[in-house]
Amino acid sequence: MINVTEDWCYANKKVIDEIYVDRTLLLRFFELSDPFWDFLPDRHGLYAEYAGKLSEIKKMAGCSSCMINGLKNEYVGELNSLIERSKRDKVITPSPINA
């Protein structure tokens, strides 16, 4: 779970507004070497969670590309929801991503 406050929201208003306007920036979260998403509290922890799930999917037989896309969409959806709530409520309290 990502815990942020109203102060965090205001401190990161510029980048939140940028993502709100250009949703393709959500995909930069998956480029760990790209510092764009470093404003996100525990970005590396969240990415490690994603990478762990991705590793498990890759070990499975079957339609792994479908499952990989589904996992990526899950995280993009959560990040998008975080941006939406920050614009609407000015306080971000995202729900945890379900395993």
For residue 9, what pLDDT is reported?
84
Q: Going residue by residue through the chain (99 aa), what tens digit of pLDDT does each one get?
A: 466 678 888 889 899 999 999 999 999 999 999 999 999 988 999 999 999 999 999 888 777 888 999 999 999 999 998 888 887 765 544 445 544
For residue 52, what pLDDT is reported?
96
Where are the domains positioned within the chain?
6-88
Burial classification of residue 22, based on how many CB atoms lie within 10 Å of its CB (0-12 exposed, 13-18 middle, 19 or more buried): exposed
CB hemisphere CA count around 71 (13 angstroms): 20
The conformation of residue 96, written as its DSSP 8-state character, comes to P
Are 6 and 91 spatial neighbours (Cβ–Cβ below 8 Å)? yes
Residues 6+ apart with CB under 8 A from 63: none
